[in-house]
Amino acid sequence: MKQLLVLCLILASCTSTIPAPSSNIDHPGKKIAFAREKGNCLACHEIEDGEFPGNIGPPLKNLPSRFKDKAALKSQIWDASRFNPETSMPPFGKNKILSEIEIDQVIDYLWALK
Amino acid sequence: MATYLRLPWDTLLRARLFIFTFGFIISPPLCATPEQDLANFRKYYQQRFPNLTLNDYSNGVYAIDKVARQSWEAIEEFPPYEAAIETGKKLFNTPFNNGKHYADCFPHKGLGIAHQYPVWNKAKGEVVTLSKAINDCRLSHNESELAYDKSEIVNLTAYLVSTARGKPIDVKIPTDDSRALAAYEQGKSFYYQRHGQLNFACATCHIQNAGKKLRAEILSASLGHTNNWPTYRLKWGEIGSLHRRFAECLTNIKAQAYHEQSPEFRNLEYFLSYLGNGVPLSGPSTRK
């Protein structure tokens, strides 16, 4: 009985080490960011568990350390050529690749990534 | 004090040097002659890929993508474009209704000359690619033009290119007709201009980001971009032309695609082929 209890405790501790599914797994912004016909961000950027990311742009994590607020990130996604005429980043807002609502959802998802 | 001043100054200087060295190639270099463009183009890639020789560029992305190169070499052992060369040879040697041949339209009977195309045709005042030369030949012998997006003309070019394989590209921009330089310049502007909803220039991917990964694919260098055509593209499941690839690229960036052999694409080919001068012709070939 005691052994069974120990086994139960071990099993319990094991299951607790399995990482809980990321809270943003179903985030609508993640779906938009990953979808090839939408944001397709993985074409150029590494994003958490995204497979085969490109390396043209920087990894998308710790964005609050690179942008002073979400509005600044939004300007970059909206039309990166305003800040760098040689940018490789498509103007997602200006050229209506994504709607403003979709861009806001992507920002909401990306902003929390560590 | 000196060290305080030196650091930012060095950085600034380095940044300026970078812009001086690469700035002209990322954005359209104005007022440069074709010779200067070619020298800058080679210099840029030499600095980017110091281990590559000029000849290596005839293998396109496989010169820089070592992993993909292995499967490519395996495919090249039993080339899927062999049938196209054979068919092209038969077509090339079949006489027209008037008894004349394709060979009558070309110097050296059309053999071993593909590396000199596109050419500037002064009488017509336009760039003539190998495909267009084939159709012009047909028209001059009262035959109908072949559709550029069908296999017959692709097979014919596959055969002609195969007879010039290994010869360094040798495209000329004659100086006795200013329209030739204008055509080259148009091709160059097209190359550096941003296109489509995604707002990419050819240069964005193939100069600025050559060698970097776009998702799982490594972006190829533009040096040698015209060398391996026609190409059996696994994605197409058949052999196709350079202009078909141009159109595919433009569609991918959600831009207007032009017709094969349109003046826009012929001028783009003229510009790119000129910059590929010296790189051995490697077509027909295979690509992913």
| pLDDT exceeds cutoff 90 at A21 | no
| pLDDT exceeds cutoff 60 at B20 | no
- Nearest Cα to Cα of residue B194 among B242, B243, B256: B256
Residue of B nearest to A50 (CA): B215
| pLDDT exceeds cutoff 70 at A79 | yes
Higher-scoring residue by pLDDT: A6, B167: B167
Q: What proportion of chain B, given as a percentage, has pLDDT over 90?
A: 88
> Cα separation of B67 and B70, whole Å?
6
**Residue B39 — φ and ψ, nearest 5°?**
-65, -45
Residues of chain A with a CB closer than 8 angstroms to some CB in chain B: 42-44, 52-56, 81, 85-86, 88, 90-91, 95-97
Q: What is the pLDDT of residue B31?
A: 76
Lowest mean pLDDT across A4-13, B109-118, B244-253? A4-13
- pLDDT tens, B39-81? 999 999 999 999 999 999 999 999 999 889 999 999 999 999 9
Q: What is the mean pLDDT of chain B?
A: 91
Distance from CA of A40 to the nearest CA of B (A): 9
- List Cβ neighbours of B181 (8 Å cut-off, separation of 6 or more): B34, B173, B175
Q: What is the mean pLDDT of residues A94-100?
A: 98
- Nearest Cα to Cα of residue A44 among B213, B202, B197: B213
Strand positions, DSSP E, B74-154? 119-121, 126-128
Q: What proportion of chain A, given as a percentage, has pLDDT over 70?
A: 78
| Structural domains of chain A sorted by starting position, each given as residue range(s) with its CATH number in brackets | 21-111 (1.10.760.10)
- The burial class, CB within 10 Å (0-12 / 13-18 / 19+), for B226 is buried
- pLDDT tens, B224-241? 999 999 999 999 999 999
- pLDDT tens, A32-68? 999 999 999 999 999 999 999 999 999 999 999 999 9
Chain A contact present for B193, CB below 8 A:
no
How distant, in Å, are the alpha carbons of B30, B126, B151, B222, B271 from that of B262? Answer: 25, 11, 18, 20, 14
Indicate yes or no: CB of A54 within 8 angstroms of CB of B212: yes
Chain A contact present for B216, CB below 8 A:
yes
The alpha carbons of chain A give a radius of gyration, in whole angstroms, of 19
Q: What is the pLDDT of residue A23?
A: 55
| Structural domains of chain B sorted by starting position, each given as residue range(s) with its CATH number in brackets | 32-79+175-287 (1.10.760.10), 82-162 (1.10.760.10)
Distance from CA of A56 to the nearest CA of B (A): 6
What number of residues does chain B have?
288
Strand partners, A103: none
Q: What is the pLDDT of residue B213?
A: 96
Q: What is the pLDDT of residue A95?
A: 98
Indicate yes or no: CB of A96 within 8 angstroms of CB of B197: yes
- pLDDT tens, B116-164? 999 999 999 999 999 999 999 999 999 999 999 999 999 999 999 999 9
- pLDDT tens, B26-41? 666 667 899 999 999 9
Two structure tokens written together for B231: 């190409």
